[in-house]
Amino acid sequence: MSHHLIKPVREHEDSVDGPEQVDRPILSLRDAEVRTADGTKLLAIASLDVLAGQRIAVTGPSGSGKSLLLSTLTGRWPTGLRFTGERTTRIGRIGFVPQRGLDALHPLIPLARQLRMVTGADPARISTVLAAVGLDDPALHRRRPTELSGGQAQRASVALAALTDAPLVLADEPTSALDHESRDQTLRLLEEIVSLRQTLVVATHDIAVVRALGARHLAVSDGVVTELSPAAGPGAESGSIQ
Ligand SMILES: Nc1ncnc2c1ncn2[C@@H]1O[C@H](COP(=O)(O)OP(=O)(O)OP(=O)(O)O)[C@@H](O)[C@H]1O
């Protein structure tokens, strides 16, 4: 899927949250399908509601449709694919942590400067968040992302997602390129940095991620999405979603 970090999602948007709307889904899919131009069905979701603050793990084998489910949540699909059905959202921004941290970043703009340019956050907050993801050396802040290690770029992409304050943060196999220790650290960072107000969706091959997140669990198999655990959070649905 494409690696746009912050994407305006304006379709079907309505008003800003009020306290009385806490249990209302931030994003809903109904009768959602993604097909190729020749009509082959790649993904089908009868009904899915994503609530504020949920932690959701999406598991499934390679090619099952995890990335397409994330594309469907963002409302942006790979060229040549067709979406039908209803996608409703009341949020304006979606943060994205890609498989390779570098894909979230401009390769040549020094790290702290580009975080400021992209998010508008002030330098003090950027320093705080970078320190929180373990990048506290000011020399690293001045480096271009191409001059960072894979793990450092991954942490920088987590910092970027956190700084966006997006109500929904999607992470596509954010741990696949990392060793076990770095994987655990990235997951902890995602949990810590992504605030409780933000919803976090993580696609992964790794069942350990589901346990680590203590998450609502959606399994994708041959494009069919199934809810494996009761949805967390007030007012959440449970049971099969397709
Ligand atoms: N642009 C496209 N055109 C045609 N088919 C596509 C396209 N993108 C994905 N697919 C197909 O849709 C199916 C699901 O792909 P997807 O990338 O969502 O899988 P995934 O579960 O994320 O896999 P992985 O774990 O390997 O990243 C696959 O069969 C894939 O070949």
CATH of the domain at 64: 3.40.50.300
ipTM of model: 0.97
What percentage of the chain exceeds 90 in pLDDT?
53
Tokens linked to 75: 């409302």
Tokens linked to 222: 């041959």
Cβ–Cβ under 8 Å, residues 11 and 31:
no
Q: Does residue 85 fall inside a structural domain?
A: yes
Residue nearest to atom 18 of ligand 1 (CA): 65
> Is the pLDDT confidence value at 142 over 70?
yes
Is the shortest distance between the CB of 225 and ligand 1 below 6 Å? no
Q: Does residue 239 fall inside a structural domain?
A: no
Which residue pairs from 176-182 have beta carbons closer than 8 angstroms and sit at least 24 positions apart in sequence?
Answer: 176/99, 176/204, 176/205, 177/99, 177/100, 177/150, 178/150, 178/151, 178/154, 182/151, 182/154
Closest CA to 27 of 42, 11, 6: 11
Is the shortest distance between the CB of 175 and ligand 1 below 6 Å? no
* Residue 179 pLDDT grade (very low, low, confident, very high; cuts 50, 70, 90): low
Q: Does residue 71 fall inside a structural domain?
A: yes
**Secondary-structure breakdown of the chain: helix, strand, coil percentages, each rounded to the nearest 5:** 30, 25, 45
CA dist 135 to 46, 103, 147, 170, 179, Å?
Answer: 42, 18, 13, 22, 18
Residue nearest to atom 29 of ligand 1 (CA): 63
pLDDT for 16 equals 43
Is the shortest distance between the CB of 217 and ligand 1 below 6 Å? no
Is the shortest distance between the CB of 219 and ligand 1 below 6 Å? no
Chain mean pLDDT for the chain: 82
Q: Does residue 237 fall inside a structural domain?
A: no
Q: Does residue 241 fall inside a structural domain?
A: no
Residue nearest to atom 9 of ligand 1 (CA): 68
189/168 Cα distance (integer angstroms):
16
pLDDT for 93 equals 87
Q: Does residue 2 fall inside a structural domain?
A: no
Residue nearest to atom 8 of ligand 1 (CA): 78
Interval between CA 168 and ligand 1 midpoint (Å) = 22
Is the shortest distance between the CB of 60 and ligand 1 below 6 Å? yes
Testing ligand 1's pocket by substitution, the residue of 35, 36, 42 carrying the most ligand atoms inside 8 A of its CB is: 42
Q: Does residue 232 fall inside a structural domain?
A: no
> Is the pLDDT confidence value at 19 over 50?
no
> Is the pLDDT confidence value at 83 over 80?
yes
pLDDT for 234 equals 41
Is the shortest distance between the CB of 145 and ligand 1 below 6 Å? no
- The pair phi, psi for residue 112, each rounded to 5°, is -65, -35
Is the shortest distance between the CB of 38 and ligand 1 below 6 Å? no
Q: Which domain holds residue 75?
A: 7-18+26-227
Total domain count, the chain: 1
Distance of CA 148 to the CA centre of its chain: 22
Whole-model pTM: value is 0.80
Which segment of 138-142, 178-182, 222-226 scores lowest on mean pLDDT?
178-182
